Amino acid sequence: MERNPATSPTDSDPTPPSAAVRRHPALFRAVRRRRNPPLRRSDITVTDERAVRRAVKAASLGNAMEWFDFGIYAYLAGTIGRVFFPSGSDTAQLLSSFATFAVAFLVRPLGGMVFGPMGDKVGRKKVLALTMILMAIGTAAIGMLPTYAAVGFWSPLLLILFRLLQGFSTGGEYGGASTFIAEYAPDKRRGYFGSFLELGTLAGYTGAAGLVTALTAWLGNDTMDAWGWRIPFLVAGPLGIVGIYLRLKLDDTPAYLKLEQGNGHITEGASAVETTAHGGLAKIFRQYWPTLVLCIALVGAYNVTDYMLLSYMPTYLSDELHYSETHGLLILVATMVLLMLIINQVGRLNDRFGRKPLLMTGMLGFFVLSAPAFLLVQQGSLLAVSAGMLMLGLSLVCLLGTMSAALPAMFPTPVRYGSLSVGYNLSASLFGGTTPLVITALIGATGSDMMPAYYSMAAALVGVIAVACMKETAQQPLEGSPPSVQTEQEAAELVRSQAPAPKF
Summarize pLDDT for 198-248 with one digit per residue, the tens. 999 889 888 888 888 889 889 888 898 889 989 988 887 777 777 777 777
pTM (predicted TM-score): 0.78
Q: Is the pLDDT of residue 263 over 70?
A: no
- Please give the Cα distance from 108 to 425 (Å, whole number): 6
Question: Is there a contact between 46 and 487 (Cβ–Cβ < 8 Å)?
Answer: yes
- Please give the Cα distance from 287 to 285 (Å, whole number): 6
Which among 119, 230, 102 has a CA at the least distance from the CA of 179? 119
- Please count the residues of the chain: 504
The pLDDT value recorded for residue 69 is 75
Asked which of 14-18, 256-260, 268-272 is least confident by mean pLDDT, the reply is 268-272
Can you tell me the mean pLDDT for 100-111?
Answer: 81
The pLDDT value recorded for residue 298 is 94
Q: Which residues pair with 485 in a beta bridge?
A: 46
50 burial (CB, 10 Å; 0-12 / 13-18 / 19+) is: exposed
Can you tell me the mean pLDDT for 310-321?
Answer: 79
Question: Is there a contact between 64 and 207 (Cβ–Cβ < 8 Å)?
Answer: yes
Band (340; pLDDT cuts 50, 70, 90): very high
The pLDDT value recorded for residue 148 is 84
Question: According to DSSP H, which parts of 378-450 are helical?
Answer: 382-406, 416-427, 435-446
Residues with Cβ within 8 Å of residue 183, at least 6 apart in sequence: 124, 253, 254, 255, 256, 408, 413, 416, 478, 481
Question: Is there a contact between 439 and 455 (Cβ–Cβ < 8 Å)?
Answer: yes
Question: Phi/psi zone of residue 191: left (φ > 0), alpha (ψ -120 to 50 degrees), beta?
Answer: alpha
Band (368; pLDDT cuts 50, 70, 90): very high
Q: Is the pLDDT of residue 500 over 70?
A: no
The pLDDT value recorded for residue 503 is 52
Question: Is there a contact between 431 and 303 (Cβ–Cβ < 8 Å)?
Answer: yes
Which among 240, 51, 10 has a CA at the least distance from the CA of 134? 240
